Structure 1
């Protein structure tokens, strides 16, 4: 074999080997996981792993600005998780990691989630009428109008009952205004969903909640009755654990606590009146929204400065859970009202996200 042929064969071998090696490398890169698995804190110890803001290339100067803003806005606690790990955990105004605080209507999402668990266990179905579980006469509406109200109407705030009569949920205060499903109104009648779960499970609401949700993810906390309101009190970390469960599509490590299919319903538009509302979850990135005690439709996103895919649990006086899948973030805020007393959404949401964007972008 002459030298020309030998050179040609060597050249062919070189290019073939180079191509295969490059292809193998590319395949390895493609197959390599792009993100770390979500982290879950222990349910037997107090260990919760952290990640430093600088590891995420966050702006440390802007974090200090954010802390000042939070303190000035009557915040008691502020916590940020990235992929389950703690990035920020701050306490203000004599509040501590072991202090309980009320979630107000941010706790409605606990009721939604436990309703989903009860449906997963075939104890109820949200398309059933409420009177199947509570009996007739739980409202002052006529029987035919009362029987239009399903559990889904309670979850989506479309019961058609009068929202102007205060917080009481006795039949005298639950008066017919419109057919169920035709009117969205933020209403304390949601607590009747807790009665539905209690009757369907043949136990108390608190017992079912504690067994099926609280204890399984190691939350602390207790439900308290304030008039006709049912309010959950817990630590900030417990609030964050719940947010993490939602972020993980209802799963805690290897255990499915609530079905992903139910959560998918709960965290998407639940009716065609208020596109920014699921089952007690507020949804960002939708074309319009309604607010409590108003029938007016506002055009635009709920919180323009926040990511479009963000889910919100919003409670009176600025109790907040933000779940942002695209950013792998869970953000908790507890405290007094940032400015004026409010039912859920306030100017604080958009101002806070302006500060957060300075930190993370």
Structure 2
């Protein structure tokens, strides 16, 4: 997998509160019990299907939901990505020549109960990548590389990005909640989002910068700064971290890749390393299939455990998907929440999602043991969730 990512990079650009530690089962008997409790898909296509009625779903209602979803092709991102620059501004990284049509997969108790479209197409997933970055932060804390999420980033990263009085106050949690208010420029994009050429329709009006932690703004420049800070700590490319710690253990395919920008390269320990982005706003980003995203969503549904291994701590899963107070929307650590029932009125308040433009959706519903991945649709997530949940037999 890593070879594919690095090859793509070289080909395109020609560049040579403290969290608890992830706990392992205390005995082989406990591990076996945990692994046996839930179904986990095998490698590749070794993923069992079950008829809806076998897992407590009304087959006719579920099929109606799927047929409706098939009609909801996105109108935002053209198949050839020709609207990209107008929407987001001048790209910094590559984009595919084309993308798949709307597609999706529904899991119940880990089994595939519905699937439509090309769920194996490894397409850009835009800001769904932010929830993957969040998971790398969780791993960083689990492994003791960060003592406390409330620590200033400047305590760990000394590359000049946090030298100013303002930036020195920014904590890891601020980055994860998009309340950092980090000031500066990353890879040619400024934090203020001012300028039609650089930011397209995403251009912002000038405003006063607030104290870190007091103001929410969805801001990819700051997220890219966050990604670089994580790279500084790991001292190896984040795609390698994700592959070793998450994607290989959950038996993801070999098709995903995290594509950097043409200019997002830094030197660490004498080696040139790409720093990846938290989305595809300016090209690049995480290119991944719906099937692999379903595995990632299922890992979170199982509280960070895959078979007999705790890949990311249960505490991190809980913390990342818990509301953090009045600043900003219903948002955890780079995961979208439904705590107040405003995001998806017909879904459980305990459900949460990774969301990206286009629309790209990985929705996790612990109450009903359901994961839904829905790609390239027109943004009516609640309508699909409502239809699928109507199929759940009481």
Task: State the TM-score, normalizing by the size of structure 1.
Answer: 0.75
Specify the alignment match of 1:27 in structure 2.
Answer: none
Specify the alignment match of 1:308 in structure 2.
Answer: 349
Specify the alignment match of 1:19 in structure 2.
Answer: none
Is 1:113 the counterpart of 2:145? The answer is no
Listed one character per residue, the Cα deviations across residues 178-197 of structure 1 (whole Å, up to 9, x for unaligned) are: 11001011111112222222
Map 1:262-281; keep pairs closer than 5 Å.
262-274=316-328, 276-281=330-335
Specify the alignment match of 1:145 in structure 2.
Answer: 166
Listed one character per residue, the Cα deviations across residues 64-111 of structure 1 (whole Å, up to 9, x for unaligned) are: 3223211210162211111111111221xxxx2432122211121111
CA distance in 2, matches of 1:327, 1:57: 10
CA distance in 1, matches of 2:188, 2:140: 25
Specify the alignment match of 2:49 in structure 1.
Answer: 50
Q: Which of 309, 317, 322 is the matching residue for 2:363?
A: 322
Map 1:27-66; keep pairs closer than 5 Å.
37-43=37-43, 46-66=45-65
Bigger relative contact order (CA 8 A; separation at least 6): 2
The alpha carbon displacement at 1:170 in A equals 4.8
Specify the alignment match of 1:12 in structure 2.
Answer: none
Is 1:177 the counterpart of 2:194? The answer is no
Unaligned stretches of 5+ residues in structure 2: 1-32, 74-100, 193-207, 261-279
Is 1:357 the counterpart of 2:373? The answer is no
Task: State the TM-score, normalizing by the size of structure 2.
Answer: 0.69
Map 1:119-138; keep pairs closer than 5 Å.
119-125=141-147, 126-135=149-158, 137-138=160-161
| Number of corresponding residues | 294
Map 1:197-346; keep pairs closer than 5 Å.
197-220=230-253, 221-225=256-260, 231-274=285-328, 276-286=330-340, 301-335=342-376, 337-338=377-378, 346=379
Listed one character per residue, the Cα deviations across residues 193-248 of structure 1 (whole Å, up to 9, x for unaligned) are: 22222111121222222111121212231112357565211121110100111011
Greater mean alpha carbon deviation, residues 274-283 or residues 146-155: 274-283
CA distance in 2, matches of 1:244, 1:63: 19
The structure richer in helix per residue is: 1
Unaligned stretches of 5+ residues in structure 1: 1-32, 287-299, 339-345
The alpha carbon displacement at 1:52 in A equals 0.8
CA distance in 2, matches of 1:171, 1:76: 32
Structure 2 residue matching 1:119: 3-state secondary structure: helix
